[in-house]
Amino acid sequence: MARNVLPWNVAVIVTCVLSVALIVLPCTGSAQSPGMKPLLLAEADRKKTLVIGRISRSARRHAKRVQILADYLGEQLQEFGIRNTQSLIAEDLPTMIRHFKNGEVDLISETAYGAVELANTVGARPLLLEWKHGNEFYKSIIFVRKDSAISTLADLKGKVIAYEDPGSTSAFFVPLIMLHQAGLSSARMKSIRSPLQSDKANYVFTEGELNQVSLVLNKNVDAAAFSNSNWEEFIAQNDEISGLFRILGTSPPILRSVMLARQNLNPDLRDKIVELLIDIDQTSEGRKVLKKYNKVEQYSLFEDATQKSWHWIAEFRRKMTNFKQ
């Protein structure tokens, strides 16, 4: 099955850091080079191409993973005219929303906040839940140093909390909800050296879980937030530092990850994709694909508990629509 270079410009600047707005990787694993004219897909070719998207700043790494799932599905969707597969990696949610609006993406796996945003802004349809670590849910945790005088979420007023990035569900949006529920407004700081607002919970983005841990440990910030899985990986299982932190607050269960389809995807094709993904963990080949794709264990349908978590996120999205990041 062939994989085409998609018709979107790629701006790549490589110094010591790779900064990208969008990278689209073909089957060879190489990025479209700067100045190279995009190969336009005619409408007929687009209909023959299954495109799976992902939001990530690690474009090259995630494009390869997404392509594995795209190829697996594509091989079994030829009865629907699918002849090509492609991964499309966007740096952030607004960029991915634009691609959905243009009909350039068929499927995407996204955490709860991004999934709700895609559903509400472009009508993306939630199909399935992705399981990891034996569960379709996870939680956000806000933590501080064990010797901190902070004892409640309300005590973060006038303090600084480190989040991961603006697109993170567990390490930004849900903790923001938790502080909102504790009666706190939040204010973004340009850096940890910026002046504090004494009547708000001040926050910075760190672009990485280890950075969050380090900033709290070294007293550069007062608290940080990420998922319970990250807590286990970076703190609880690390004997050298596990005793130096404590959990300040824990969120209700939130959806770990959701597979969505574009609004106008052929219903028969969409239903077949659901069928294939529901059964994918039943074969050794399918389990290998899931592991390589994103360490996913299985897919399941939405049920009452998952609907409750979805609506919890959606309700606070509506309340915080005017929140300025």
User: Is 152 in the same domain as 126?
Assistant: no
1, part of any domain: no
How many other CB atoms sit within 10 Å of the CB of residue 236? 14
Output the pLDDT for position 207.
Answer: 86
Residues 199 and 159 occupy one common structural domain = yes
pLDDT attached to residue 14: 24
Higher pLDDT, 169 or 19: 169
| pTM for this entry | 0.76
**What pLDDT is recorded for position 41?**
57
Sign for the CA dihedral angle at 278, 281, 284, 289 comes to: positive
9 belongs to a structural domain? no
Contact present, 105 and 50 (Cβ < 8 Å)? no
Q: Which of the listed residues 225, 254, 283 is the one where a domain comes to its end? A: 254
pLDDT band of 321, cuts 50, 70, 90: low
Same domain, 127 and 219: no
**Contact, 164 vs 209, CB < 8 A?**
yes
The reply to whether 29 falls in a domain is: no
Question: What is the reported pLDDT for 318?
Answer: 79
Number of domains in the chain: 2
195 shares a domain with 162? yes
Residue 236 falls inside a structural domain: yes
Write the pLDDT tens digit of every residue in 261-299: 999 999 999 999 999 999 999 999 999 999 999 889 999
* Residue pLDDT, tens place only, 133-182: 888 899 999 999 999 999 999 999 999 999 999 889 999 999 999 999 99
Which of the two residues, 71 and 3, has the higher pLDDT score? Answer: 71
Structural domain that includes position 189: 137-254
Do 81 and 224 share a structural domain? no
Average model confidence (pLDDT) across the chain: 85
Residue 27 in any domain: the answer is no
Q: CATH code at 182?
A: 3.40.190.10
Asked if residue 269 and residue 228 are part of one domain, the reply reads no
- pLDDT tens, position by position, 27-85: 333 333 232 233 345 676 888 999 999 999 888 888 999 999 999 999 999 999 999 99
Does residue 78 sit within a domain?
A: yes
Same domain assignment for residues 150 and 250:
yes
- 144 and 78 together in one domain: no
pLDDT value of position 1: 57
Token pair in block for residue 179 = 């502080």
**pLDDT over threshold 90, residue 18:** no
